[in-house]
Structure 1
């Protein structure tokens, strides 16, 4: 399983560093402590959490220490995160939410391939940005961990609109996580449709109009991404940005919201390539993720 390979490689790298240290002998290295005892015993959702572990060998945790949380160095290498544990009384509310916006969306086989080793449940997750402002996060991921944070108050008053926003954020982060660590693969055929050389145009009358070239605008952006050069060395739009934007749109747009873009032949071709690939390779329709809470 790819998830385990990532974990084992991370552990081997850590052991290699420890072995090279002059300050400690191998015999003095503390146990890695990656395993947890389930049920944790304080939530009505414990049975559900145990069942998830039995199916997927993925730990859903509401009680953990700093050592557990910060073990995955990818979580803190770019930003210093501070978290608050979720009160066990509200873990069932969180599990209900995750069922709706994550677990119920995908088949068991896909979960067996993609569920992270640890899913940390929190009531608050934040970091201080470059300007000293406190930024709160709903979801973040490391090399083999995902952290989901919703306050107890919000969990008790979730509306469909709030669930839609949380679903979009979670799914974008998950798919980025899965692609970054090769949990899933997407077709090279996608890149053969568009010409990536030169900046796309926002003028529909131009032969370089973005949609005519097969590009779409991304989720929650303040301006069209494709009117900028992604790779300043080559003067081109990058393949990575194109695929990421398409995936974002598939995860966040309803079928109705796709209609205008799909009148453009190259957009339609790339849309069909991705949708058909996911259906054939992983056994589900990715458009159902985009439709959730939209239709």
Structure 2
């Protein structure tokens, strides 16, 4: 009896101790990589609003790592900081030549983590900075960069602005599809066996670049070629050039073009042909 008398209270004490509430585990606070606003200009409010709407940073102050890092390699480009005196026309240009063609819902899905606003982007060729050849736009897995957040924008000709528009749409799309934020059209993915694509079979397969930087083409470089065409040529212009039998012997260019146009219109309500209107 004495043993039971001692054991029962001991068990009760252990049960109470076991049921005692543990301290709540609090998650670590993650500090945002970037801080907005970057300055105290009136346009900084617009940039903050853009981030709050789309979750995408617009940076006119950035580091080399912000611009160059691309997971496994570095971009072969250099970018100057955005000129704070010209950010307003740069934002207006992005809206006029790119954003207005897409719905708000689509932009929320497709926009990158950040947009780099650079006054000037140049390619590095054989370790040489090509100062004389500014680049309109480039992209990585986490951003696309706009190379006219400076005085150069005001002096561009209509033809130069048209080329800039094409480059912006291409880089916007390439970062979106490369990361799978926006899927490629399934029919387009299945349309070509890239192992059969060589310089002499490119037309038959509806491929623009059988190689890209010395590497055999794949579905992404193939799609890039089509985005260049979609953003630069009306369907009427294509009917009189690319889609003619001499240039499109198997009808593959027209077929794959229509796959892209149809898929994004059906799934996302986007009129890609409207880019050239």
Same fold judged by TM-score > 0.5?
A: yes
- CA-atom RMSD in angstroms: 3.2
Q: 1:92 aligns with which of 88, 95, 105?
A: 88
Structure 1, unaligned stretches of length 5 or more?
1-30, 202-207, 218-224
The structure with more radius of gyration: 2
Shift in Å at residue 192 of structure 1? 4.3
Q: Is the Cα contact below 8 Å between 1:141 and 1:177 reproduced in 2? A: yes
Deviation per residue, 1:193-217 (Å, 9 max, x gap) = 456536464xxxxxx782xx35154
Deviation per residue, 1:124-147 (Å, 9 max, x gap) = 233532153435433222322222
Q: Distance in 2 between matches of 1:131 and 1:39?
A: 32
Judging changes above 3 Å, is the alpha-carbon distance between structure 1 residues 63 and 78 closer, same or farther for their aligned structure 2 residues? closer
Q: Is the Cα contact below 8 Å between 2:37 and 2:45 reproduced in 1? A: no
Judging changes above 3 Å, is the alpha-carbon distance between structure 1 residues 243 and 149 closer, same or farther for their aligned structure 2 residues? closer
What's 2:23 paired with? none
Instruction: State yes or no: 1:277 paired with 2:268.
Output: no
Tell me which protein shows more strand as a share of its residues.
Answer: 2
Matched ranges for 1:1-295 at <5 A: 33-38=32-37, 40-42=39-41, 44-65=42-63, 69=66, 73-74=69-70, 77-79=73-75, 81-130=77-126, 132-134=128-130, 136-150=134-148, 152-193=150-191, 197=196, 199=198, 201=200, 210=203, 213-215=204-206, 217=208, 225-226=209-210, 238-260=218-240, 261-263=242-244, 265-289=251-275, 291-292=276-277
Judging changes above 3 Å, is the alpha-carbon distance between structure 1 residues 147 and 193 closer, same or farther for their aligned structure 2 residues? closer
Structure 2, unaligned stretches of length 5 or more?
1-29, 246-250
> What secondary structure, in the 3-state scheme, does the structure 2 residue paired with 1:83 have?
strand
Shift in Å at residue 107 of structure 1? 0.6
Shift in Å at residue 41 of structure 1? 1.4
Q: Distance in 2 between matches of 1:87 and 1:278?
A: 36
